[in-house]
Copies of this chain bind each other. A is one copy, B any other.
C-alpha cells in the first residue's frame, strides 16, 4: 500500500463501473477495473490490490467459485456486491471468505465507510507483508499460480501435497500438530490416521528436499507434528 490504497473493482455492468469510478477514484484511492472473472484473477495476481470489490453476478464465472479461488491465495479484504438480497447467498459469501456484503442499491457513503473498515482491519493484520508468495532458501511457492519451485526447478505437487505444503507455509516456523493437519486436510473423522501424514510428508520431502534424509524445510517434531523452517 504505497500511498493510496489500490482497489480492484470486478464488475461487468458498465453503468455501475462508471458510478463506482466516480465514487472511488477520488484522491483517497487508486482504482483498477476488471469486467470478467478471468481477467480479475490475472489482475489481482499482477497488481496486488489492497482491497477487492467483487460483483457476484459476473457473466463468465460463478461468483462463489471465483471468491473461493481468490481466497486460496489472496489475503486482502474482499467486499461482495450483489443485486439479490438472498440470505443464503449472503451467508455463503461471508463464510466463503468475503469480509462484507452489500446489496444493490447501496449508497456511496456506506460503501466508502465499509471500505475504510476493511482497510483498517487489514492494516492491523499485516503491516506490509506480501503473502502471495512464500520463499525460504531454495523453496518458493507462488500461491496465485499454485506453482512450487525447489532445488532450482519447478516441482509438480499433487493437490494433496500442495495443500499440506501451503498449510505449513502459511504458518511457517510454527509447529502444526498432527491432529490439526489431519483435521484440516482429511476432516475430523481421520484425526487418528497419522500414517497418512507420514507417507505424504515422505513424498513431499522427496520432491522438495535436496536430501530427504536430512530435510531442511519440512521438519518433524516427534510426537507433536511438523513445522516448515523459516528464517
Contacts and interface: CB of A to CB of B under 8 A. Distances in A.
B222 A158 contact: yes
Nearest to A95: B113
Given A95-B116, A124-B125, A146-B224, 11 more contacts: A87-B107, A90-B109, A90-B110, A91-B109, A94-B110, A94-B113, A94-B116, A98-B117, A159-B222, A159-B223, A159-B224
A28 to B, nearest CB: 13
Contacts of A227: 145-146
Interface in A93-127: 94-95, 98-100, 107, 109-110, 112-114, 116-117, 121, 124-126
A62 B91 CA distance: 31
A145 to B, nearest CB: 5
Interface in A120-173: 121, 124-126, 128, 144-146, 158-159, 173
A144 B173 contact: yes
Contacts of A94: 110, 113-114, 116-117
A230 to B, nearest CB: 8
A39 interface: no
Interface of A: 87-88, 90-91, 94-95, 98-100, 107, 109-110, 112-114, 116-117, 121, 124-126, 128, 144-146, 158-159, 173-175, 221-224, 227, 230
* A-B pairs with lowest CB-CB distance, top 10: A94-B113, A159-B223, A91-B113, A144-B174, A87-B107, A146-B175, A145-B173, A87-B109, A94-B117, A91-B109
Counting chain B CB atoms within 10 Å of each CB, the highest count among A98, A117, A126 belongs to A117
Contacts of A95: 113, 116
A200 to B, nearest CB: 15
